[in-house]
Amino acid sequence: MSRVYINTSENYRFDRVLNCLEKIFDEMGGIDSIIRPGMRIAIKPNLRMAKKPDDAATTHPSVIKAIITLVHKAGGIVTIADSPGGPYNTATLKMVYANTGMEQVANETGAELNFDLRVEKVVNLDARITKSLKILKPLKDADLIINVAKLKTHGMMVYTGAVKNMFGSIAGLEKADYHLRFSDYDQFADNLIDIYLATKPRINIIDGIIAMEGDGPGSGIPKYLGAIIASEDGFACDYAAVSIIGVDYKDVPVLRKAEERGLFRKDETEFIGVDIRDVQPDEFDVPALKHIKQGTGFSLLRFLGKSLRPKPSINHEKCISCGKCIQVCPPQTISKDSSNRVIIDYKNCISCFCCHEFCPEHAIKIKKNTIRKIFEYRRV
C-alpha cells in the first residue's frame, strides 16, 4: 500500500509551512526515521527558469527552507540541486538561484547551492527505454534525494509534479535530446518514468499551496489550493495531486503508463491527513485535457497522429526576439528571419512546447489545428 500524506498551509509564511511539513513527517514516522546524522541530502526543487516565487512556476523558497530546517534538525547535510532549462552553466545557476529565492534560503540556512557542473552515469536495467543516463553529480553522490515539485499544468504531459520533476536531473540542453528521441507523448512518459526510477528519490513532496493552472508549466496562472502533498511513492503522490485538481489519472500519460507497467495502482493508494475534498478547487483549468476527448473523432485523431497535434504559436506583439525559444528548441525548428522576427518551421516541429515553457514574455501559446477542433467538439 502506497501512503500519501496531505496537509494544508494557509499561505507561505514560514512558521505555517514548517508546521505543515512537521506534521507530514510525523505521520511518516518522524524525519529521524528517514535521515541520520551526517547523511548527504540532495534537495531537488523545480527551478525550471529564473522566475520569481509569486509566479508559481518554481518550488516556493519557504517550502525548501522548511524542509532544510527539518533535515538539519535530524543532522543531515543539504545541497540544493537542479538543472534549469537552457545551458547548464554557473551564470545560469546564479541567476536562477537569485530569482527563485534559493540564494536567500541558502544564506539563511547554511545549505549549499550546487555549482558542480559534472554529471555521472546511472544504469537502470529495469527501465523500459532509457536504461542508461547521465544525471547531476550531486544527485548521484547524495545518500538520499528529497524531490520537491510544484503542482502545475503542462502543455505536453497534461500535468507536472513529482515524477516529471526528476527530469531536471538531466543537465541543461541534454534534455532537448530526450525530447527529440521520444517525441511521441507515451514514449516520453516512459522516459520520464525511467529517469524517476533511476534517480530513486526517497521522499517526494509537491508544493500545492499556490499551484499553476492554464498554460503551464511556465505561462499559467497562480491558483490557490493550500495543500502540501508527500509520499515515498512519486506515482501515488502525483495521483493525489491530480485527484485534487479534478483530473482523471488516466488522462495523464505518466500515470497511465505507470499503471500499465505495474508501478502504480489506484486501489493500493491510501490518502492520509486532510480530506482531498477540503482542498479541491471549484475549477482548475487544464488546457491539455481539451486535446484528449474521447469518441469517434478522437480515434481518428490518433490515427492521423502528429500531423494534427497542437502547435506553438508566436504572438509577435509580445515577442522581444530574445532568442530563448531558439536556444531550447530540441529539433532546432525556430529561427529569426532577416528582420529579426522569430519564426517556426512547423514541418519539423515535434510539439514538445519547450519554447512555450521557457518564453520569458509569455509570447508563445499552444494553438490547435482547425480539423482537430472540429473532431474535439463535445456533443451534448
Query: CA-CA distances (angstroms) from residue 180 to 176, 199, 331?
Result: 6, 21, 6
Cβ distance 311 to 367 under 8 Å? Answer: yes
The model's pTM: 0.87
Confidence of residue 243 (pLDDT cuts 50, 70, 90): very high
The predicted pLDDT at position 291 comes to 60
* pLDDT band at residue 378 using 50, 70 and 90 as cut-offs: very low
Model confidence pLDDT, tens digit, residues 181-192 = 998 999 999 999
Average pLDDT over residues 30-56: 97
Read off φ and ψ for residue 104, nearest 5 degrees.
-65, -40
Residue-level pLDDT at 292: 54
The phi, psi pair for 359, rounded to 5°, reads -70, 120
Q: Decide: 43 and 168 in contact? Cβ < 8 Å.
A: no
> Nearest-5° angle of CA 322, CA 325, CA 331?
145
Residue 4, Cβ density class (10 Å: 0-12 exposed, 13-18 middle, ≥19 buried): buried
Strand 112-113 and strand 132-136: pairing? Answer: unpaired
Confidence of residue 298 (pLDDT cuts 50, 70, 90): very low
302 pLDDT exceeds 90? Answer: no
170, containing H or E segment: none
Sign of CA dihedral 99, 311, 327, 180: positive
What cell does 364 get? Answer: 508563445
Residues 113-153 pLDDT 10s: 999 999 999 999 889 999 999 999 999 999 999 999 999 99
Residue 372 has pLDDT above 80, yes or no: no
Mean pLDDT of 257-267: 97
Q: Are 203 and 41 in contact (CB under 8 A)?
A: no
> Cα–Cα distances in Å, from 206 out to 4, 232, 256, 298?
11, 12, 19, 32
For domain 2-287, the CATH superfamily is LarA, N-terminal domain (3.40.50.11440)
Based on the number of CB atoms within 10 Å of its own CB, is 306 exposed (0-12), middle (13-18) or buried (19 or more)? Answer: exposed
Output the pLDDT for position 308.
Answer: 56
What's the pLDDT score for residue 295? 38
- Residue 50: DSSP 8-state: S
Task: Return the percentage of the chain with pLDDT > 70, whole number.
Answer: 92
Q: Which pLDDT does position 310 carry in this prediction? A: 79
Dmax (CA) of the chain: 62
Domain boundary assignment for the chain? 2-287, 304-375
Please give the Cα distance from 265 to 124 (Å, whole number).
22
Q: What is the pLDDT of residue 368?
A: 64
Can you give the pLDDT at residue 263? 97
Long-range contact set of residues 135-141: C-beta below 8 Å, sequence gap at least 24: 135/169, 135/170, 135/171, 135/195, 135/198, 135/199, 136/81, 136/82, 136/83, 136/169, 136/171, 138/42, 138/79, 138/81, 138/114, 139/42, 139/44, 139/81, 139/169, 139/199, 141/40, 141/42
d(CA 96, CA 330): 21
Q: Say which CATH topology domain 304-375 has.
A: Alpha-Beta Plaits (3.30.70)
Averaged confidence pLDDT in the chain: 91
Q: Is the pLDDT of residue 230 over 90?
A: yes
The answer to whether the CB of 322 falls within 8 A of the CB of 360 is yes
Does residue 47 carry a pLDDT above 90?
A: yes
Higher pLDDT, 316 or 204: 204
